[in-house]
A and B are shown apart, each in its own frame.
Chain A
Amino acid sequence: MKIRSKMLLIFRHEFLHTVKRAGFFILALSLPVLALLGIGVFHIVSGTIEPSVEVARIGYYDESGDFSQYTTQGNIIFINYETQESATQAMIEKDIKEYFIIPQDFISTGIIKRYVTQRELAAPPATAAAIDEFLSNNLLAGKVPESTIARIESPPNLITTTLTSTGDIATQQGGYANFVIPGVFSLLLALSLMFNSSYVLESLGEEKENRLMEILLSSVSTRQLLAGKVLGRGTAGLIQVIVWVISIPLLLRLASPSIGGFISSIKIPPGFLTLGIVYFILGYLLFSVLSAAVAAISPTIREANALASIYTLSAFVPLWFLSLIMYFPNNPIWIVFSIFPFSAPVMIMLRLGITGVPVWQIAVSIAVLLSCIIGGLFLAAKLLGTYILMYGKRPNLKEIIRSFRSL
């Protein structure tokens, strides 16, 4: 009989076991399905809903007597009342939606007292903007030309152009349009790394918890078992990432002509998709070999998951600091996170969408990841061989160190 590779048999079993899970499909199709839903909802909404033309009436009581002009701001009409009581009465009778008081000392304090009939978190932005413009227009009336008032109402539009070191206009310009795809991809990458490495952990943990490990090891070596599992589950994860990578340009092509505007300006940084696959593979290999090591020393899956969360959560660290990274993408702290192996995949992907990441940083982060994967493989193989058949108790750190010394 033909001798088939046992590693391939384990690979096949693990791959099929993963892709049969509902969670696998949900994560793989999340990006394209959500984007298609978004495009669909846009079409439905833009085709059925007309912009609101309803005029809102807002009252005010002016103690200072300086605010009587510019009483129409867009769809909002401001109505002056002689007393606060008359304004309150008008609001109760639903003549006006709400009212506000301009105190005598408004110029020095800047305080405006607003009264409404329904509890709310904060004034609606449209209302706040209309009141703001009504006040500033009146304050400036007669003191500056109308064109100056109009400019104050519409702040400057800052258009930034990135130049190359030779002074030419760079092919890759910054801006939110460049960040959308890397931002979404980074979040999905972190989720994928967490889920797929946890599949390896759960698989080994289940076999240990269900006392299957010794039966398996009577047929295969720990090396074959580890390789089959990591590659089987990893290939399933890679399929998820490839689905996203293929769907991103297709979805952009589909959305741009119909939605236009901001969507049509979205760009994918050069090399992003290739690097996305490379960092997924490296990140997954690192997380999965560590998961195997954790499964070896943990008596239950629950305990293994708790231990694994220490490093899987580190993949999300760049996302916690997203707002800071967006404004200061080349801060030395983020460079450290780009090289630190647990956060490197997501951090590099994020920074690629915000700024140009120097080649040396990418090269160093890949080298560090590769070194950690090799070290992790050694660690996992040793711990699997020593502790995978230890049931019901977890070796303490001292015992683990002693077992390494006995090599």
Chain B
Amino acid sequence: MSAVEVNHIVKSYVDKLAVDNLSFSIAQNEIFGLIGPNGAGKTTTIRMIMDIIKPDSGEVIVFGEKLSEVSKNRLGYLPEERGLYKKLTVMESIIYLASLKNMDRSSIEEKADKLLKQTGMLPYKNKRIEKLSKGMGQIIQLIVTIIHNPELVIFDEPFSSLDPINTELIKNLLVDLRNQGKAVILSTHQINQVEELCDRVLMIDHGHNVLYGSLSEIKARYKTNTVIINFEGELGQIPGVIKKRAHKDSTELVLDKNTTPEQILKRLLDIGLIINRFEVSIPSLNEIFVEVVSENQK
């Protein structure tokens, strides 16, 4: 059973179509990347999955059913716009927000102590939120998101304004959650993080699905049959190479569709070149993102 099934959802606001006939699914035990330019409809899609807003049409199925008060307790959500009660203490904030996920007080206190200890925040448990630094506040938000052991966790721009230490903390947490068999949705502008962490991605633009699948499939789809070499000697004309692009430390060779990288390597060695570097060029997700968005804008 998929953790999330999104079927043909449409959402429009007064003057704009935010999400247009979007369908996708998210499996348990995976980190699913939700990417797209600003205003693409990512947050609206997440809010529909969380049942914070209703789609105009289509449906969202979470763990085999429409989201209810009870099934909301199986979800954890770290929104892009996030904060805490400034006048409450760390523990009071955690207790109140976790109780809304149907945890009882003793379980919350026990689990909170454990998580606060893990994150080095235990000495601050009785401090007011307003006394904490921004980074500390983000750790508390993270604890509130996962304290109830959710089966589906959604992170919307979790790395924004985080220092490298906290960025690493969240990355490790995402991987841990996947390893525990949970479904994780990561929505971010930081494509390098998606490339590093995600198993599958959905790219949306103007509310449409423009790219959807596993990272390896997508990269294979956008593969350009290009190799990058660094060599010593005279390159000359090589059969099978249709274009050469010289860079500072390397040369990019674009191959015709009948030539494989292995054949080219053999031909280069045959003409006596000393090859210091030979690399099959695979486009980065960032390059694919830019290409797809540019094409979409045309």
Q: Which DSSP category, helix, strand, loop or mixed, fits chain B's interface? A: loop
* A211-B52 CB under 8 A given contacts A3-B102, A13-B96, A218-B75: no
| Chain B positions 45 through 59: 1 when the CB is less than 8 Å from some CB of chain A, otherwise 0 | 001001011000000
1/0 per residue, CB under 8 A from B, across A206-233: the answer is 1100111011111111001000000000
Asked if A218 contacts B79 (CB within 8 A), the reply is yes
Among B33-41, B80-88, B113-121, B263-271, the one that faces the other chain is: B80-88
Q: For window 80-119 of chain B, which residues contact chain A by CB distance below 8 Å?
A: 81-86, 96-97, 99-104
Contact between B70 and A3 (Cβ–Cβ < 8 Å)? yes
B100→A214 contact, CB < 8 A: no
Given contacts A389-B47, A403-B14, contact A218 B96 (CB under 8 A): no
Taking A13-B96, A221-B69 as contacts, is the C-beta distance between A211 and B81 under 8 angstroms?
yes
Q: Tell me the residues in window 182-224 of chain A with beta carbons closer than 8 Å to chain B beta carbons.
A: 206-207, 210-212, 214-221, 224
Q: How far is the CB of A277 from chain B (nearest CB, A)?
A: 30
CA distance A216 to B101 in the complex (A): 10
Contact call A6/B69, Cβ cutoff below 8 A = yes
B97→A210 contact, CB < 8 A = no
Tell me, yes or no, whether A391 is within 8 Å of chain B by CB: yes
Instruction: List, in ascending order, chain A residues with CB within 8 A of B104's CB.
Output: 1
Given A1, A221, A385, A399, which contacts B14 in the complex, CB threshold below 8 Å? A399
Q: Is B177 an interface residue (CB 8 A)?
A: no
Q: How large is the interface on A (under 10, 10 to 19, 20 to 34, 35 or more residues)?
A: 20 to 34
Number of interface residues, chain B, beta carbon within 8 A: 28
Residues of A contacting B83 in the complex (Cβ-Cβ under 8 angstroms):
210-212, 215
B72 touching A212 by the CB < 8 A rule?
A: no
| Chain B residue contacts of A214, Cβ below 8 A | 47, 52, 77, 79, 81-82
* Residues of chain A within 8 A of B47, CB atoms compared: 214, 389
Of all chain B residues, which has the CB nearest A217?
B52
Q: Which of A206, A210, A216, A385 contacts B100 (CB 8 A)?
A: A216
Across-interface contacts of B96 in A (CB, < 8 A): 9, 13
A220 and B85: CB pair below 8 A? no
Answer yes or no: A393 CB below 8 A from chain B CBs: no
With an 8 A cutoff between CB atoms, is A406 at the interface?
A: yes
Report if B144 contacts A (CB, 8 A): yes
In the bound assembly, the distance between CA atoms of A16 and B294 in angstroms comes to 54
Across the two chains, which residue of chain B brings its CB closest to A211?
Answer: B83
- Pick from A219, A221, A391, A402: contact of B97, CB under 8 Å: A219
Encode A292-321 as 1/0 by CB contact (under 8 A) with B.
000000000000000000000000000000
Q: In the bound complex, how far is the Cα of B79 from the Cα of A212, in angstroms? A: 9
Shortest CB distance B279–A (Å)? 44
A407 to chain B, nearest CB (A): 12
A206 to B69, CA, bound (A): 24
Question: In chain B, what residue has the closest Cβ to A212?
Answer: B83
CB distance from B190 to the nearest CB of A (A): 20
A212 in contact with B85 given A218-B77, A218-B79, A389-B47 (CB within 8 Å) = yes
CA distance A214 to B156 in the complex (A): 11
Least CB distance, B127 to chain A, in whole angstroms: 17
In the complex, what residues of B have CB within 8 A of residue A215's CB? 77, 79, 82-83, 97, 141, 144
Q: Residues of A contacting B70 with CB < 8 Å? A: 3
The distance from the CB of B183 to the nearest CB of chain A, in whole angstroms, is: 15
Residue pair A6, B100 in contact (C-beta under 8 Å):
yes
Q: B75 CB to closest chain A CB, in angstroms?
A: 7
Question: Please, which residue of chain A has its CB at the minimum distance from the CB of B148?
Answer: A219
Q: Is A4 an interface position by the 8 A CB rule?
A: yes
Complex CA–CA separation, A206 to B84 (angstroms) = 10
Residues of B within 8 A of A207 (CB): 85
Shortest C-beta distance, A79 to chain B (Å), equals 69
Q: Which A residues are in CB contact (< 8 Å) with B52?
A: 214, 217-218, 389
Query: Given contacts A3-B102, A6-B69, A221-B69, are A210 and B84 in contact (CB under 8 A)?
Result: yes
**Which residues of chain A are within 8 angstroms of B14 by Cβ–Cβ distance?**
399, 402-403, 406
- A283 to B101 CA separation, bound complex (whole angstroms): 33
Q: Which residues of chain A are near B85, meaning CB under 8 Å?
A: 206-207, 210, 212
Instruction: Pick from A212, A216, A220 the residue with the most CB of B within 10 Å.
Output: A212
List residues 386-407 of chain A with CB under 8 A from any CB of chain B: 389, 391, 399, 402-403, 406
Q: B145: nearest residue on chain A (CB-CB)?
A: A215
Complex Cα distance, B81 from A212, in Å, reads 8
Which residue on chain A has the smallest CB distance to residue B14? A402
- The smallest C-beta distance from B132 to any residue of chain A, in angstroms, reads 13
Q: How far is it, in angstroms, between the C-alpha of A206 and the C-alpha of B130 when the chains are bound? A: 13
A5 — nearest CB in chain B belongs to which residue?
Answer: B69
Which residue of chain B lies nearest to A219 when distances are taken between CB atoms in the complex? Answer: B100
B104 and chain A: residue at smallest CB distance: A1
Return the CB mask of A374-387 against B: 1 if under 8 Å, else 0: 00000000000100
Partner of A219, one of B82, B86, B101: B101
Most buried by A among B50, B82, B83: B83
A12 to chain B, nearest CB (A): 9
Which 5 interchain pairs have the tightest Cβ spacing?
A: A211-B83, A210-B83, A219-B100, A218-B77, A214-B79
What are 14 pairs between A and B in contact, CB < 8 Å? Answer: A1-B103, A4-B99, A6-B102, A206-B85, A211-B83, A212-B85, A214-B79, A215-B141, A216-B100, A218-B50, A220-B69, A389-B53, A399-B14, A402-B14
Residues of chain A having any CB pair with chain B under 8 Å? 1, 3-4, 6, 9-10, 13, 206-207, 210-212, 214-221, 224, 385, 389, 391, 399, 402-403, 406
Given contacts A210-B86, A212-B82, A221-B69, 20 further A-B contacts (CB under 8 A): A6-B69, A9-B100, A13-B96, A210-B84, A211-B83, A212-B85, A214-B52, A214-B77, A214-B79, A215-B79, A215-B82, A215-B97, A215-B144, A217-B52, A218-B79, A385-B53, A389-B52, A402-B14, A403-B14, A406-B14
| Residues of chain B at the chain A interface (Cβ within 8 Å) | 14, 47, 50, 52-53, 69-70, 72-73, 75, 77, 79, 81-86, 96-97, 99-104, 141, 144
